Amino acid sequence: MPENKYISSLKKLKRKVYIRGTPVDAPQEHPLVQLSTAAVARSYALQGQPEHEQLIYANSHLDGRRINRFTHIHRSAEDLINKVKLQRLLGQQTGTCFQRCVGMDALNALEITTFELERDLGTPYHRNFNHFLQQVQEENAVCDGAMTDPKGDRSKRPHEQADPDLYLRVVSRNREGIVVNGAKCHQTGALNSHYIIAMPTTAMREEDRDYAVAFAVEADNPQLIYILGRQPSDLRKMEPDRADTGNMYFGGQECLIIFDHVFIPWERVFLCGEYDYSGRLVERFAGYHRQSYGGCKTGVGDLLIGAAASLAEYHGLDRASHIKDKLVEMIHLNETIFCCGIACSSRGNPTASGTYLVDLLLANVCKLNVTRFPYEIARLAEDIAGGLVATLPSLKDLEHPEIGPLLKKYFQGVAGMETTCRLRMLRFVENLTLGAAAAAYLTESLHGAGSPQAQRVVIARQADLEGKKRMARKLAGIKDD
Ligand code: SF4
Ligand code: FE
């Protein structure tokens, strides 16, 4: 089974990991990590499912071999569309962030940008990158795309910070390579990755040239420190039967990664000091990841809609017109996100390297919708579910000889429907709207791939407002000078 091989490959990595103040030698055995590893493992499990072959496999543009799409470089608009469809499928299968897209998006953004760097400046970055990519494809490896720096005082540029390490930077270089120091925040799937790919978090100017750095490093480099992020209600995952987690099988994961004077050999460096290229690398990565949300968040949205519709049945309200209206509203919002994901993919264009980039305007519109619509879908799901979503006793109480029968009596919905199923579904909604998975479905929808203001900036830049003004002037009979 490819997913078993994946999990055992992670177990071989010796990393410095902290969880709740304690060093952890075997994170894949830790209950706060296990469900997140299981979510990434679905991207391997799909390889054994013939009905999903077209989505999970692609042919490498390097050597034509059949590879997992998460390691693929998109060479057509159809590739971009298949990526979004795959993400929706995995969102539906896991009900959380399955974490593998950031690495795929980093690979694609780097492929385009290193090509330009080598073409324009003669640096060997594209050769370095392709060599690394080949290895990732051969190993079917998981890459973590690490972009977000801690950023300290947001009004200051990287080189102006009181502490120069608040943006990841090059501290020294020699003939063999570079040494980097700093940190990356919110690293999705960090402990489920084989490689960490670091990129700058913003456009850089000349004074910030030491911060214009991109590279790949093995996840078990001894100078990396991983600190696992908390999620709401995460301790429920540590309870033996996990009955109160809501999603019994899958979860997401974010870490703070500290790069403590990490040595990177030149062959793994993809950008080092060429500050002019930093902004376009960031914009491309963000564009791809904003497209990604058009897939994954709609898959999770499908589950929340399904859960709300099921609860309406348990409550005997499935024929009520206001409930039907709310469900239609949820579907409308969810499919609007998907439309944006498909639209920015189908309007993708080839770049100089031949790799297809999404339509950046539409990808940013996609993500700006994602900063709002999942919150409204969650609100409507809670509306349909009722207040019990936040006051439900433990499902373990159902097993108690005295109170179990009382709970089943008083939480019965429509006669004949199983009370336990109703309560499990309520837990599922709680997990997605208030619990551990809300980190992936809500907060990540707001801030992941850049906070809303970042999308507004790109939309303003890409929207050709002058062109719109000219069109309006023409029809209004106003002559341009
Ligand atoms: Fe993939 Fe979505 Fe998670 Fe990003 S948030 S890694 S796109 S599942
Ligand atoms: Fe994300």
At 329, list the tokens: 């509203």
Question: What is the per-residue pLDDT for 293?
Answer: 98
pLDDT in tens, 150-165: 999 999 999 999 999 9
CB 462 within 8 A of CB 360: yes
Among candidate residues 30, 126, 186, 289, the one labeled active-site is: 289
Distance 444 CA to ligand 2 centre (A): 6
The neighbouring-strand residues paired with 216 are: 197
79 Cβ closer than 6 Å to some ligand 1 atom: no
User: What confidence score (pLDDT) does residue 480 get?
Assistant: 79
pTM here is 0.97
Ligand 1 pocket test, candidate residues 98, 104, 338, most atoms within 8 A of CB: 98
Is residue 101 in contact with ligand 1, taking CB distance under 6 Å?
Answer: yes
The confidence score (pLDDT) of residue 188 equals 97
What's the 176 CA to ligand 1 centre distance in angstroms? 35
Cβ proximity of 341 and 366 under 8 Å = yes
444 lines ligand 1 (CB under 6 A): yes
Out of 3, 116, 118, 254, the active site residue is 254
Ligand nearest to the CA of 39: 1
- What is the 3 state secondary structure string of the chain? CHHHHHHHHHHCCCCEEEECCEECCCHHHCHHHHHHHHHHHHHHHHHHCHHHHHHHEEECCCCCCEEEHHHCCCCCHHHHHHHHHHHHHHHHHHCCCCCCHHHHHHHHHHHHHHHHHHHHHCCCHHHHHHHHHHHHHHHCCCEEEECCCCCCCCCCCHHHCCCHHHCCEEEEECCCEEEEEEEEEEEECHHHCCEEEECCCCCCCHHHHHHCEEEEEECCCCCEEEEECCCCCHHHHHCCCCHHHCCCCCCCCEEEEEEEEEEEEHHHEEEECCHHHHHHHHHHHHHHHHHHHHHHHHHHHHHHHHHHHHHHHHCCCCCCHHHHHHHHHHHHHHHHHHHHHHHHHHCCEECCCCCEECCHHHHHHHHHHHCCHHHHHHHHHHHHHCCHHHHCCCHHHHHCCCHHHHHHHHCCCCCCCCHHHHHHHHHHHHHHHCCCCHHHHHHHHHHCCCCHHHHHHHHHHHCCHHHHHHHHHHHCCCCCC
- C-alpha closest to that of 195 among 144, 251, 269, 236: 144
CA–CA separation, 172 and 469 (whole Å) = 50
Other Cβ atoms closer than 10 A to 319: 9
Closest residue (by CA) to atom 7 of ligand 1?
292
How remote is the CA of residue 302 from the centroid of ligand 1, in Å? 15
Ligand 1 atom with the smallest distance to the CA of 293 is 7
Q: Which atom of ligand 1 is nearest to the CA of 91?
A: 8
**What does the pLDDT read at residue 22?**
98
Please give the pLDDT value at position 59.
Answer: 98
Please give the pLDDT value at position 2. 86
For residue 220, the CA-to-ligand 2 centroid distance in Å is: 22
Counting ligands in written order, the one closest to the CA of 366 is 1
Give the model's pLDDT for residue 201.
Answer: 97
pLDDT at site 300? 98
Question: If you measure from the C-alpha of residue 213 to the centroid of ligand 2, how many angstroms do you get, rounded to a whole number?
Answer: 21
Instruction: Say if ligand 1 is within 6 A of residue 98 CB.
Output: yes
Ligand 1 neighbour 371 (Cβ under 6 A): no
Ligand 1 pocket check for 99: Cβ under 6 Å: yes
For residue 101, indicate whether it is catalytic.
Answer: yes
Ligand 1, atom 1, residue with closest C-alpha: 101
Nearest CA-CA partner of 431 in 390, 375, 383: 390
How many whole angstroms separate alpha carbon 77 and alpha carbon 9? 33
Question: Which of the residues 188, 245, 355, 371 is marked catalytic?
Answer: 188
40 C-alpha vs ligand 2 centroid, how far in Å? Answer: 13
Q: Which of 3, 111, 430, 444 is catalytic?
A: 444
Mean pLDDT of the chain: 97
Query: pLDDT 10s digit of each residue in the chain, 481 long?
Result: 789 999 999 999 999 999 999 999 999 999 999 999 999 999 999 999 999 999 999 999 999 999 999 999 999 999 999 999 999 999 999 999 999 999 999 999 999 999 999 999 999 999 999 999 999 999 999 999 999 999 999 999 999 999 999 999 999 999 999 999 999 999 999 999 999 999 999 999 999 999 999 999 999 999 999 999 999 999 999 998 898 999 999 999 999 999 999 999 999 999 999 999 999 999 999 999 999 999 999 999 999 999 999 999 999 999 999 999 999 999 999 999 999 999 999 999 999 999 999 999 999 999 999 999 999 999 999 999 999 999 999 999 999 999 999 999 999 999 999 999 999 999 999 999 999 999 999 999 999 999 999 999 999 999 999 999 999 999 999 987 7
255, 272, 296, 344: the catalytic one is 296
Which residue has its alpha carbon closest to ligand 1 atom 6?
A: 99
44 as an active site residue: the answer is no
Catalytic residue among 6, 71, 97, 255: 97
Q: Catalytic: 277? A: no
Q: Choose one of 69, 101, 143, 337 to mutate for the ligand 1 pocket test, by most ligand atoms within 8 angstroms of C-beta.
A: 101
Give the span between the Cα atoms of 454 and 396, in whole angstroms.
44
Residue 13: CB atoms within 10 A of its CB come to 16
| 288 annotated active-site | no
